[in-house]
């Protein structure tokens, strides 16, 4: 099974029915997997539980309605699939931080875009950078066959808006479905399409479609735009100030601090519309890697024992850490030279009460030394694991995503759901939040040809 294709099929089904009541069993059926497996793989490849993704997308659509339509809050709540204004307000405040009414009257901007797994990129060295610039992401944009309109002018100021006005007139004369197209723009160098002697400025409007393009329209031509890796940021508005500020942030602040350098493919600006009104923009900075990605290895390990604290529910990581630390302090005779700090959690839980986190130490065998009922012991099975050695990055969500995507892209291994993933740290004295500490992350796998399929008659 190609997990990436299956989860993207689930995302596409959700997006097609985002304003309806969606049953998760239907989503799992579209993805051709069981519901528990959908929970796990959806989270692994997107970084969001499937229910959380649906809620945030609904709230994002509602946010546009609140800002750019004249509908009442109740009407908006019903449009995006909530049963009442009260339930909508509660969910909106939980995600955005303020009520719909306050948001409507504020300058705040909230957007949660549709995920395209074929564009998504994760990189280990970017955790700190992402925390500082959460509005900037790294994606892989595929090559696009597009319709192109080139606008020429003697003046540089206002050339983008003038190009859009002419482009919109061309589109209205055609039968193109504007709901199924993406709208981009870019500045063009003189020697790319123009006579250098004319010294005219040029701005290109580009539209891509979900379906293949076979026919052009008057005033436009079909062409191919090279894909590549991009740093992408979203503006809170379409004002010149917002656009310039974001370009400066991406190019002058984010890029020098990142592990990337400027790429040779084209700069792009994407125009986001709502009810045919331009509401914000995405800016695409072409980049390429400077550093080699950390290597994923396949290792065979033996089984081992763990003494651990498992806590369920809200704030379980902090509570498990505190509980286990207290136990360690009560047991000063532990020989740490043979132990490593152990960490794991249930990353596919949809229900907060089902979510758990474990802290422990490995290779601990003495049952009589356990002095509290909050500490348990168990034996973890050995076998084949995909392993990454890296710095400690909090809950290691990004690391897990990278390993999952490596499994998907390689197609040699699949996840072994019968065994538990875990991380081991260099020292038993540290917390997993200390990013100066080395950690090894183990994700259980099996080779595809070793999988035994059993059919019930």
* Tens-place pLDDT, residues 314-329: 889 889 999 998 888 8
Split at pLDDT 50, 70, 90, the class of 390 is confident
Task: Say what the alpha-carbon torsion angle 135, 140, 143, 146 is, to the nearest 10 degrees.
Answer: -10
CATH annotation of 3-110: 1.10.10.60
Q: Identify how many contiguous H helices and E strands the chain contains and give both numbers.
A: 14, 18
Radius of gyration, alpha carbons of the chain: 26
Mean pLDDT for the stretch of residues 438-453: 80
Alpha carbon 261 to its chain centroid, in Å, reads 22
Asked whether 186 and 206 are in contact (CB, 8 A), the reply is yes
Residue 67: how many CB atoms within 10 A of its CB?
17
pLDDT score at 432: 44
Q: Is pLDDT at 88 greater than 90 in this prediction?
A: yes
Question: Is residue 386 within 8 Å of 447, Cβ to Cβ?
Answer: no
* pLDDT at 299 > cutoff 70: yes
Which strand (E) or helix (H) includes residue 12? helix 3-16
The ranges assigned to domains in the chain are 3-110, 144-225, 296-450
pLDDT greater than 60 at residue 451: no
218-232 average pLDDT score: 90
End-to-end alpha-carbon separation of the chain, Å? Answer: 22
pLDDT of residue 314: 81
Nearest to 247 by CA among 136, 161, 385: 136
Tokens of 118: 């074929």
**Integer Cα distance of 176 and 40 in angstroms:** 39
Helix/strand/coil for 79:
helix
pLDDT at 172 over 70: yes
Q: What percent of the chain has pLDDT over 90?
A: 42
What count of other Cβ atoms lies within 10 Å of the Cβ of residue 360? Answer: 28
> In the numeric block, which tokens belong to residue 151?
């606008």
Domains 3-110 and 296-450 share a fold: no
Which residue shows structure tokens 């509570």? 319
Average confidence score pLDDT of the chain: 84
Q: Write the Ramachandran bin of 188: left for phi over 0, alpha for psi from -120 to 50, otherwise beta.
A: beta
167 within 8 A of 148, measured Cβ to Cβ: no
Q: For the residues 388-397, what does the mean pLDDT come to?
A: 76
Count CB-CB contacts under 10 A for residue 149: 20
The whole-number pLDDT of residue 404 equals 85
Mean pLDDT of the region 378-383: 92
Mean pLDDT of 374-389: 91
Homologous superfamily of the 296-450 domain (CATH): Regulatory factor, effector binding domain (3.20.80.10)
**Among positive and negative, which fits the CA dihedral 306, 308, 314, 317?**
negative
């Amino acid at each position: 099974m190609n997990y990436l294709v299956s989860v993207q099929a689930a995302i596409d089904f959700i997006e097609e029915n985002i304003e309806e009541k969606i049953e998760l069993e239907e989503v799992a059926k579209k993805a051709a997997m069981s519901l528990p497996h959908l929970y796990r793989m959806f989270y692994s490849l997107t970084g969001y539980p499937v229910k959380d993704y649906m809620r945030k997308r609904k709230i994002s659509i509602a946010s546009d309605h609140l800002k750019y339509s004249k509908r009442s809050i109740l009407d908006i709540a019903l449009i995006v699939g909530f049963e009442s204004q009260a339930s909508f307000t509660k969910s909106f405040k939980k995600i955005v931080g303020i009520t719909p009414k306050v948001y409507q009257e504020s300058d705040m901007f909230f957007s949660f875009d549709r995920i395209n797994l074929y564009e998504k990129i994760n990189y280990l060295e970017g955790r700190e950078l992402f925390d500082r610039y959460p509005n900037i992401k790294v994606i892989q944009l595929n090559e696009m066959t597009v319709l192109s309109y080139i606008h020429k002018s003697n003046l540089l100021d206002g050339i983008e808006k003038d190009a859009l006005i002419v482009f919109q007139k061309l589109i209205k004369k055609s039968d193109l479905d504007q709901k199924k197209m993406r709208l981009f723009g870019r500045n063009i160098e003189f020697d790319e399409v123009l006579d250098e002697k004319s010294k005219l400025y040029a701005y290109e409007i580009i539209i891509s479609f979900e379906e293949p393009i076979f026919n052009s329209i008057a005033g436009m031509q079909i062409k191919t735009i090279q894909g590549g890796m991009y740093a992408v940021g979203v503006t809170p508005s379409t004002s010149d100030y917002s656009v310039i500020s974001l370009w400066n942030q991406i190019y002058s602040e984010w890029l020098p601090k990142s592990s990337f350098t400027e790429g040779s493919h084209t700069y792009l600006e994407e125009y986001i519309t709502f009810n045919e009104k331009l509401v914000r923009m995405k800016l695409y900075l072409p980049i390429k890697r400077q550093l080699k990605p950390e290597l994923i290895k396949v290792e065979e390990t033996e089984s081992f024992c763990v003494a651990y604290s498992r806590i369920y529910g809200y704030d379980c990581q902090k509570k498990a850490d505190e509980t286990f630390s207290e136990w360690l302090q009560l047991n000063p005779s532990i020989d740490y030279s043979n132990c490593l700090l152990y960490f794991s959690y249930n990353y596919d839980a949809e229900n907060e009460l089902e979510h758990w986190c474990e802290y422990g130490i490995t290779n601990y065998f003495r049952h009589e030394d356990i002095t509290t009922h909050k500490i348990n012991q168990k034996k973890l099975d050995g076998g084949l694991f995909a392993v990454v050695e890296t710095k400690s990055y909090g809950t290691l969500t990004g690391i897990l995503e990278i390993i999952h995507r490596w499994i998907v892209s390689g197609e040699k291994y699949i996840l072994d759901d019968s065994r538990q993933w875990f991380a081991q740290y260099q020292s038993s004295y540290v917390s997993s939040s200390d990013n100066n500490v080395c950690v090894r992350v183990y994700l259980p796998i099996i080779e595809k040809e070793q999988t035994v399929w059993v059919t019930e008659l």
